Structure 1
C-alpha cells in the first residue's frame, strides 16, 4: 500500500544520497548500490525509473507493459494497482554511478540506451521539420522496435505516409506495403498496389521486384501472369529500376540476382508485357498512386 511505497521510496532516496556524497564510495559499495537499482524485470539500470505500489523500482516501460497483462507484483506476486511514482533522485543517482566508471559492466546497456535516446531525439526533430530521410528512419525504427522505441506499426505507417506526402518513392513503397498487408493501418489492397506501382514506375528496384513476385504467384488479388511478372523483373535486371542509398531498407541487396533467375525461367515461356499492360488493373489510367497521399 501507500506505506510500503513511501518506505521503499525512502530506501532508494537514501541510496541516491550516498552516491551524491562529495567522496565517491569504494567500487564494491558502488556496485551494491547499482545492483539495488536494477529493474527486476529487465535486469538493467532503468532510464526512466518509477516506484510501483509494491514498493519496488522498475523501468517505466517494463512495468507498464507488465501491468497491461497482470494485476500482481513481479516481485511479491501480490495484487497491486497501476500507480507509478517517478523516482527522480534515483535517476540522478544512476547517472552518477554510470559517470563514476565503477560499474561499467552494469552501465553498458544504459549508456547505449542514452545514446539511442539522443539519436532518436535528433532524428525526430529533423522529421518534424520535414526531412524525408529522417521520417523514413523513424518509421522503420517504429516498425522494428529499434533504437529503444516501442514497436508500433501504426506509428511506423504514420511516418511513412508523411514522407509519401512529400513525394518519396521509398515512402510510397513502404506505405503501400503497410496498406496491402494491413500493417499499422486498415488493409486497403488497391491503394497499396497503387502506391507500390507508383514507386515501381518511378524506378524503385524493390517495388518492381515485389510486383514481379506477386504477378508470378498471383498474390494480393493480382492474377498469375508470367508476362507481367517478366516485365517487372526485366526492369530490375536491366537497371531501369534502382535501389536507394538510405538506411531505411537493407533488404534491397540480392533483388537483381533473384530477378535474373526468375526472368531466365520466364523467358522460355513468354514475352514480357508492355508498360501499360503490366500495371495492376486497379490503377490503370491513374497517376500511379499520387492521388492517395494527399488525402486526410
Structure 2
C-alpha cells in the first residue's frame, strides 16, 4: 500500500492534469464560438455558406461590401442560417460559468441591450409613443447596440409624433430644424416645435427660445418671442430637458429682463 502522503500527491497531480485538460478544452470551444469578424461571442449567431458561424449583423454588413468569406477569402453567397445550437451552447456555458472573462461580459451586455430593444419594439408596436421616441433616440446616437441611422431615427420620431407623444413631436421638429434624416424645413420645424411647446415640452420651449434669442436655424432674432418661450420652460409639464438647458433659459431671462 503506497504511503498516504504519496497517494495524496498523486491525486493532487491528477486533479491538476484534469483541470488543465478541462481548461484547454474550454478555451478551444471558446475560440470556435467567437465570431471571426467581431472577435466576440455572437448574440445572434448564424452559419454562413462557408460553414463558419458569425454574428448576424457583422456578416450581413460584410456581405454588403464583398461576396467573399471573411475566413477563407473565397467567393460566398448571402444565404445565412440561424445557428441555434451555437446560441444555446453559448448561453449554457455562460450560465454555468464555464465561460468567463471580458468577452463574456461584453456578450451579456449585448444580450441585455438586444432584449431591451426587443421590449421597446414590442411597446412601440403596441402604440406606445414614448417607446417610439426612445427607439428614435437610440438610432440617432447609435445606442443599445443599434447602428447609428438618422433615417430610422426620423421614422421613429415621426411615428412618436403621430402617436401623440409631445416629446416625440419636439424631436421630429428638431429633425426638420437641422435636416436630420429629412431635408431642412424651417416652417415645418416651427409648426412642430410650437405644437410641442404648447403641449408642455420643456425641450421645445427651450429650443424655440434659443432659435429666436440668437436668430438660429432661419428664425428671425426676436427678443419678445425668445422671452415668451424661455419663460414657458419653468412651468412646462414635460421634463424632457437637461439641467444645463434649464439653466440656459434662466440665465437668458436674467440677462434680458422685460422692459
TM-score tier (shorter) = 0.7 to 0.9
Distance (Å, rounded) in 2 between the aligned partners of 1:51 and 1:166: 39
Distance (Å, rounded) in 2 between the aligned partners of 1:225 and 1:73: 60
Asked if structure 2 preserves the Cα contact closer than 8 Å seen for 1:31 and 1:102, the reply is no
Indicate the SS of the match to 1:66: helix
Q: Does 1:124 align with 2:124?
A: no
User: What is the match of residue 20 of structure 1?
Assistant: none
Distance (Å, rounded) in 2 between the aligned partners of 1:166 and 1:65: 32
Q: What TM-score do the two structures reach when normalised by structure 1?
A: 0.71
Indicate the SS of the match to 1:110: helix
Q: For 1:98, which of 94, 99, 106 is the aligned residue?
A: 94
User: What is the match of residue 33 of structure 1?
Assistant: 29
Distance (Å, rounded) in 2 between the aligned partners of 1:90 and 1:202: 50
Asked if structure 2 preserves the Cα contact closer than 8 Å seen for 1:142 and 1:149, the reply is yes
Asked if structure 2 preserves the Cα contact closer than 8 Å seen for 1:243 and 1:252, the reply is no
Q: What TM-score do the two structures reach when normalised by structure 2?
A: 0.80
Deviation, structure 1 residue 72: 4.3
Distance (Å, rounded) in 1 between the aligned partners of 2:51 and 2:225: 64
- Unpaired segments of 5 or more residues in structure 1? 1-24, 272-296
Pick closer, same or farther for the CA change 1:84–1:125 going to 2, 3 Å: closer
Distance (Å, rounded) in 1 between the aligned partners of 2:119 and 2:51: 35
- Unpaired segments of 5 or more residues in structure 2? 1-20
Distance (Å, rounded) in 2 between the aligned partners of 1:99 and 1:240: 49
Identify the range of structure 1 (193-202 vs 76-85) with the bigger mean alpha-carbon deviation.
Answer: 76-85
Distance (Å, rounded) in 2 between the aligned partners of 1:112 and 1:185: 32
User: What is the match of residue 256 of structure 1?
Assistant: 246
Indicate the SS of the match to 1:151: coil
Distance (Å, rounded) in 2 between the aligned partners of 1:53 and 1:125: 32
Pick closer, same or farther for the CA change 1:89–1:256 going to 2, 3 Å: closer
User: What is the match of residue 281 of structure 1?
Assistant: none
Asked which structure has the greater CA Rg, the reply is 2
Q: For 1:64, which of 33, 57, 60 is the aligned residue?
A: 60
Pick closer, same or farther for the CA change 1:179–1:56 going to 2, 3 Å: same
User: What is the match of residue 241 of structure 1?
Assistant: 236
Asked if structure 2 preserves the Cα contact closer than 8 Å seen for 1:205 and 1:255, the reply is no
Q: Does 1:160 align with 2:157?
A: yes
Give deviations 1:268-293, integer Å, cap 9, x for gaps: xx64xxxxxxxxxxxxxxxxxxxxxx
Deviation, structure 1 residue 77: 4.7
Indicate the SS of the match to 1:254: helix
User: What is the match of residue 198 of structure 1?
Assistant: 195
Indicate the SS of the match to 2:46: strand
Asked if structure 2 preserves the Cα contact closer than 8 Å seen for 1:205 and 1:252, the reply is no
Deviation, structure 1 residue 178: 1.4
Pick closer, same or farther for the CA change 1:143–1:89 going to 2, 3 Å: same
Deviation, structure 1 residue 46: 0.7
Structure with the greater relative contact order (CA < 8 A, sep ≥ 6): 1 or 2?
1
Distance (Å, rounded) in 2 between the aligned partners of 1:54 and 1:81: 9
Distance (Å, rounded) in 1 between the aligned partners of 2:108 and 2:205: 41
User: What is the match of residue 228 of structure 1?
Assistant: 225
Give deviations 1:148-194, integer Å, cap 9, x for gaps: 23333333333322232232211110111112223233433311211
User: What is the match of residue 280 of structure 1?
Assistant: none
Deviation, structure 1 residue 61: 0.4
CA RMSD of aligned residues (A): 2.5
Give deviations 1:110-146, integer Å, cap 9, x for gaps: 2222222332222222221122332222222222222
User: What is the match of residue 82 of structure 1?
Assistant: 78
